[in-house]
Every structure is written in structure tokens, then in C-alpha cells.
Amino acid sequence: MLDTLDVNFHGKRHTDFDLKRIIKAQEQGFDIPVTAYLCGVSIRARAGIGVVFGHKRKDQYGRFGDGHLIRTSDVLKVEREGRFWVMTTVNSRYVLATFQRENGRTSLRDYLRLSQAIHQTPPILQ
């Protein structure tokens, strides 16, 4: 009898629309280097959540691999650069290629409205 191992990967394929937006963002270029491109983004509890593409710290073990869902460190600011929103976190800079359906843009508006009153998470809790 064979021993088998069932492995479930938590990821998703990028849609054609996601890939087109990523290509446009790469063509635009940015003054300060970006860490990765995120698709299907929403901001929850001061963290960005999205599907990653082209992460600079992708490793041989699959961490930060294309199509993986990631949660960023605390978002420090989100600002418009050209045609795209760029999210700066404690550790990285992400280009927001697409937003999550239904609530992605709403979460961005909420973050921008509330960001002046929200305090950062203490480093010990991140």
C-alpha cells in the first residue's frame, strides 16, 4: 500500500484582468522600488490582504510565491502614484493592481478616512 500525503495550497490563479493591470503597472514604473504587486486587495485591521505577484523576497520554499494570499505588516500610508495606488507598510511597498470585489475599494476609502486617527500596532504584536 502506498503512503500518500494530501497537500492543499492556499493560492489562486491570476485572472487575465489582474495580469493586464500588473503589466500596466510594470510599464508605468515607480520612483521608489516596489516589493510586489497585489491583486484582489482589501485593507483590514491596518493590514493589506491580497494575492501576490512578483514579490522580491520569493524564496525556494514557496513563501511569497505568485498566486499566494498574503497579509502585509501594518499599512503606514496609501497614496496614488500615476494610475495606481501604492501601499507602504512597515516592511515593504506594494502596488495595488486590483481590488477585491464588493469591498476592496470601500476598505481603501475607509482606511484613508480613518488613517489619521488610527494608531500603529505595537511591534511586539506584529
Cα Rg of the chain (Å, integer):
16
- pTM for the full predicted model: 0.81
The DSSP line for 83-123 is: TEEEEEESS-EEEE--B-TTTHHHHHHHHHHHTTTPPPPPG
Tell me which residue has cell 502585509: 72
* Residue 96: per-residue pLDDT: 97
Higher-pLDDT residue of 79 and 13 is 79
Cα–Cα dist 45/81, whole Å:
23
* Residue 3: per-residue pLDDT: 61
Per-residue pLDDT tens digits for 97-113: 999 999 999 999 999 98
Per-residue pLDDT tens digits for 25-40: 999 989 899 999 999 9
Per-residue pLDDT tens digits for 41-97: 999 988 999 999 999 988 888 788 888 899 999 999 999 999 999 999 988 999 999
